Copies of this chain bind each other. A is one copy, B any other.
Amino acid sequence: MIKLTEQPIQAEQAIDAVAHCNAGANLLFLGTTRQWTGDQETRELKYECYQEMALKQMQQLHDQAMEKWPLLGVCIIHRLGCVPVGETSIAVAVSSGHRQPAFEAGPWLIDRLKQVVPVWKQEINQQGDSTWVHPLNPGATS
């Protein structure tokens, strides 16, 4: 399952999407908005995307992971709009018969997603100032 949503992401939603009767291993990664990054306090993150291309790139990551590993399911859900401290911006779930493919595919998917999926975030601090997050300014997420 591939999804972009403005609604809060529930853990069950992503893990249910990869459930399979032949799965022994189910891995879920949730990226959440962190309150403190060093001495910087974040109020929320604000995400926007290039929707058609983001969905296309997420689908490609899904397909590539299914090809690279013997997975039974792959789910990528990205939230858009404002994500307050503690809430989930990204959920990646995978399932496989045994645990090694899941533990390899999970980090690969989130690493690749952060490299190729056209989503951008602004960090809003406690004073309400916003900054675009980029590689030299990595911000309040995982």
In the complex the two chains form, is A107's CB within 8 Å of B97's CB? no
**Contact string, A2-25, partner B, CB cutoff 8 A, digits 1/0?**
000000001110010001011111
The number of chain A residues touching the other chain, given as a range, is: 35 or more
Indicate if A85 sits at the interface (CB-CB under 8 A).
yes
Could you say which residues of chain B place their CB within 8 Å of the CB of A32?
19, 23-26
**Contact string, A82-99, partner B, CB cutoff 8 A, digits 1/0?**
000110100000000111
3 tightest A-B CB contacts, nearest first = A25-B142, A24-B142, A99-B142
- Chain A residues close to B by CB (< 8 Å): 10-12, 15, 19, 21-37, 85-86, 88, 97-99, 102-103, 106-107, 110, 140-142
